[in-house]
Structure 1
């Protein structure tokens, strides 16, 4: 069993992928070829944003967003400690101080109730992460940001395709940033990413930043980076985008099915107050998740993971060490207590998740989890 199955998807689109790659090879515009602009238009339409700017990775998308907002050395950005390193890394790389605020124990996303206490005179932005495929509470976060005149950057690396109160992830804030890393819900065959915004001036800045800060050839009004999206990756994403709406529906259905199977065996939702050896994800009403990961909570994670491995079922941990516990961020420790992040980081375990899981696969996995954790079969 594979943790993420990319081969089945490829077999469905291989002729189209090969044809699109051949077109790029024929026209030879490997950097900023026509497929990049075509993809940007398609992604902007999908999300409902006015502007999409393709970038070389989700990490560079975060960096370009911060640079476009002219946030830099000595400033502070509020974010979550329970995420991949790139979120805090891009903040710190610009000399900005990441301020880690604890998460909601039910959704694992940045807790809006804790943000205001962390705002100081140096705060320049809030960067929530839409973790595991479900959007953070963006309306509550945006209300705080508006009251303090702060921009919001959604790190939507895991939530492209998810919805929040009828709107799409990446179109919920000042700038939305996503990743098209191969394992993401919409993945390229290499690194790729994008920024989304409804602000024409910010879009112009990000376009300049991704191409060494130039607004025209050899004219550089700002510092930038080599953050361009490769034409080949754009071509591949255009092909995969045809399948994406159906895959989003499949992910939602499969996530719900996982929870149903586990709860039939005695697990409870993370929103439940009842005792259970296994907690399943809780999807907040009026939101959808693309389940970039299907992640449960449990005790004795290592023993359970080993037991599943013996049954031929791969697992992963996203993420075992909160960012404020990472050696590189030691200077940020002591700002805000993060007991929820600390606890959940010790308990989360991700199960195989992709749009092509079969019901038999999910039953097999749920049964294996039940055996390993003492749930009833």
Structure 2
């Protein structure tokens, strides 16, 4: 069996460091925010190349907090990509604002800047590009358009820890950026966690209050807000893991490079589309997402042969039953085509040696057979 993800392998390698960090939190009894979270915030801000990180209890909370801090709410709109996890749009809905979806660039899989300007209205409160699969959106064009219209940019960087665009880290391009530390992310907590990062001193101060019941000082509540505080144990775990993220991203790139080479050598052109990292950035490979026809059949056959895969995501947001008001079938053709064909292969730093060969050889046999079936004559009349 080749698992899609093996968190035990990562965590066991760091067990002594993590155990010591957790023990320090227990001994201090600083379970909500506290010194471990403070230290992580400082280190993560430096990692992202910004002045501030505001740690919260999930990536969804990070998105919601950033939107609220930038005054998204009823009567406002937030422009975002049609290809994303549902949390992106759910956070917009939480504020009372309306999500305005745009189709994706068919090669980069992120918000297509060519569609952006026409979507901006006097009601636009923010633009929220999504760095899907670990590849940063085309931030120079997006930020230029946003600046012309005086609209803030919120990076949804939940999948982009360690990625960069034009040598600047994910999280350093917009007014704010939001990260998730769900356990399966490149940087994952021992549970839920998230952060908002920014260079804006006033906005950081506001969000620190908003995550803690709107308090700048104890028992004086300036905003009708939330308990979005990060737990001390999560800050401790993330502080340990953050020191290894750069090497983990390098390892993911090596695995991706091996996949790229094997696909070129062993699968005829046109049967499988591999990821295309753009030359203007560094792809962190949160997912190695190929595209293949008859995806569900291919995935089932891989599973039968002991290879686990993922699908990110099988249905775009506007075709989800709970968000059907955001668009109709056929409205975002590139996002819909990606959803029909995308398949995420195992990629993580601890992937066993030779696993890439097994995955590609098995996939080659499956797609060859699938292609042969399509070419078989259907009979005569």
| TM-score, normalised with respect to structure 2 | 0.94
**Are 2:38 and 1:44 aligned?**
no
Cα offset, 1:261, TM superposition: 1.0
Cα offset, 1:331, TM superposition: 2.1
1:358 to 325, 328, 352: 352
Match of 1:289 in 2: 283
Match of 1:126 in 2: 127
Residues 65 and 206 in structure 1, CA contact (< 8 A), matched pair in contact too: yes
Task: List aligned pairs for 1:195-214, cutoff 5 A.
Answer: 195-214=196-215
Match of 2:89 in 1: 88
Match of 2:112 in 1: 111
Match of 1:73 in 2: 74
SS for the counterpart of 1:170 is: coil
1:314 to 289, 308, 312: 308
Cα offset, 1:235, TM superposition: 0.5
Residues 110 and 130 in structure 2, CA contact (< 8 A), matched pair in contact too: yes
Residues 101 and 336 in structure 1, CA contact (< 8 A), matched pair in contact too: no
Residues 100 and 335 in structure 1, CA contact (< 8 A), matched pair in contact too: no
Cα offset, 1:5, TM superposition: 1.2
Task: Point out where structure 2 has 5 or more consecutive residues left out of the alignment.
Answer: 372-381
Task: List aligned pairs for 1:242-253, cutoff 5 A.
Answer: 242-253=243-254
Q: Counterparts of 2:159 and 2:174 in 1: how far apart (Å)?
A: 16
Q: Counterparts of 2:33 and 2:98 in 1: how far apart (Å)?
A: 33
SS for the counterpart of 1:215 is: strand
Instruction: Provide Cα deviations, 1:147-179, integer angstroms capped at 9, x if missing partner.
Output: 111000000000011011111001111001000
SS for the counterpart of 1:207 is: helix
Task: List aligned pairs for 1:9-48, cutoff 5 A.
Answer: 9-48=10-49
Q: Counterparts of 2:5 and 2:191 in 1: how far apart (Å)?
A: 15
Match of 1:171 in 2: 172
CA RMSD of aligned residues (A): 1.5
Residues 71 and 125 in structure 2, CA contact (< 8 A), matched pair in contact too: no
Q: Counterparts of 1:333 and 1:166 in 2: how far apart (Å)?
A: 35
Distance 1:19 1:71, change over 3 A: same
Q: Which moved more, 1:118-127 or 1:175-184?
A: 118-127
Task: Point out where structure 1 has 5 or more consecutive residues left out of the alignment.
Answer: 269-275
Instruction: Provide Cα deviations, 1:223-264, integer angstroms capped at 9, x if missing partner.
Output: 221100110001011111222221111111211221111121
Q: Counterparts of 1:295 and 1:333 in 2: how far apart (Å)?
A: 25
